[in-house]
Amino acid sequence: MEPHPHAAARALVFLSLALLAHGKPGDLNRDSFPKGFVFGTASSAYQVEGNALKYGRGPCIWDTFLKFPGATPDNATANVTVDEYHRYMDDVDNMVRVGFDAYRFSISWSRIFPSGIGRINKDGVDYYHRLINYMLANKITPYVVLYHYDLPEVLNNQYNGWLSPRVVSDFGNFADFCFKTYGDRVKNWFTINEPRMMASHGYGDGFFAPGRCTGCRFGGNSATEPYITGHHLLLSHAAAVKIYRDKYQAAQKGKIGILLDFVWYEPYNYTIEDEYAAHRAREFTLGWFLHPITYGHYPETMQKIVGDRLPSFSPEQTALVQGSADYIGINHYTSYYVKHYVNLTHMSYANDWQAKISYDRNGVLIGKQAFSNWLYVVPWGFYKAVMHVKDKFRNPVIVIGENGIDQAGNDTLPHALYDHFRIDYFDQYLHELKRAIDDGARVVGYFAWSLLDNFEWRMGFTSKFGLVYVDRKTFTRYPKDSTRWFRKMIKNEE
């Protein structure tokens, strides 16, 4: 696409503003990062593929969840979304134009196995063959996520999905099929995206599918089910890693990890009480999953507070989970203040933190707010988050799996393309990432969320994170200014 009118003038204005903002305008490029560093963009199957009711795909838990009015502000579903199923070539072509090295996408479990297990859907299998082959033909490296929120609905109906230990072997069989089918070309795997989000929002407050919590219409127990779910997610991840290492890794020569969400939690006041509150917030989020993978058991803080509501690992499970990642994916967007707070009204995962989140300190926001009410621009929190992973978890190899900022969904052409705020966000956050790398963090890749304006879960289409605008009537893709910024940065072009 040709640059839209006045793009050069706007870029010069932005450059001047950036200089005033943080004194390092435009000095980032590929050479700022270690040799071989990967720049990519990301999506997930449910958010971009569409065709949810076609080509042999079985329903997932989100298809059922979204049938209830009000599940999204615009009552949107992902039945069509942005139709990457048919338009993947356009999307890969846009990645090539920008200069991205890689694409992080997920495989829809129910598109491969409509019933979760058993019969294989050839149309679904062939779609991912086409996508992977086209990417490789255009020198875009696939980073494949096996699971991104979309459990086959039939497994939820049969045995309550992630609440049952049966899911571990079923997920393992799905993973095995994917390794066998695509592993000759896919050398970078992630098992599960953001297990904490699924456990806490799917089973703790009912905000995500399958919508379970204490008092929810689908039933649930907010004090126990998040921990049971988290346990089975960890065991499923570890089982898939063992299958890959035992059967495929030596021949296929790939790597495998997990994607964990991590908000940075800063003490509201630098008192002992608030310092411990921030510590608990980190342990109950990132530590919940990365501590067992690193050390073989749940964080002591969680064990002490949750008690017998927290499942324990058998010796065999400890051996399976500990060390079950060649690299760790970290999804980071924002940071919050945290203060000590005890809520004794009811027992739940959220109340177990004994912490209260605040977006401001003494009336001053922690950073500029994005369109989403949870997202604030806090670049220094990114540095602290990455260094925390380095220092607390034995300096693992890290991939930044998601990082980005949104705008309003009703932002239309051509204004929607002028995303200077997004350029400023990426510029500041990548400066902080470089600083962490310079200070010893072993970060080997960075994936911007997201390639396209797509279906954003409970926000529907009212929130746009994309580098590329999508006209949802014609599905025409329009690259935003941020794509040109990335191209200049990655390709060292003026």
Which member of 84, 153, 266, 402 is catalytic?
Answer: 402
If you compute the radius of gyration of the chain from its CA atoms, what whole number of angstroms results?
A: 22
Letter for the amino acid at 333? Y
Q: What φ, ψ does residue 28 adopt, rounded to 5°? A: -80, 140
DSSP 307: G
Whether the CA torsion 340, 345, 350, 352 is positive or negative: it is: positive
* Contact of 195 with 235, CB cutoff 8 Å: no
Q: In Å, how far from its chain's centre is CA 345? A: 32
**Cα separation, 363 vs 421, whole angstroms:** 23
Q: Is residue 273 flagged as an active site residue?
A: no
From the number of C-beta atoms within 10 Å of its C-beta (0-12, 13-18, 19+), residue 37 rates as: middle
Phi, psi of 67 (to 5 degrees): -70, -20
Catalytic residue among 49, 84, 153, 194: 194
Residue 356's Cβ-side half-sphere holds a number of Cα atoms within 13 Å equal to 11
CA-nearest of 329, 435, 423, 447 to 382 is 435
**DSSP per-residue string spanning 4-44:** PTTHHHHHHHHHHHHHHHHS-TT---GGGS-TT-EEEEE--
Chain CA centroid to CA 451, Å: 13
Assess whether 456 carries a catalytic annotation: no
- The answer to whether 454 and 83 have CB atoms below 8 angstroms apart is no
DSSP annotation of 315 reads H
Q: Contact 210/355 with Cβ under 8 angstroms?
A: no
Neighbouring residues of 479: CB distance < 8 A, sequence distance ≥ 6: 1, 94, 97, 98, 417, 467, 468, 469
Instruction: Identify the DSSP state of 356.
Output: E
Residues with active-site annotation:
194, 402
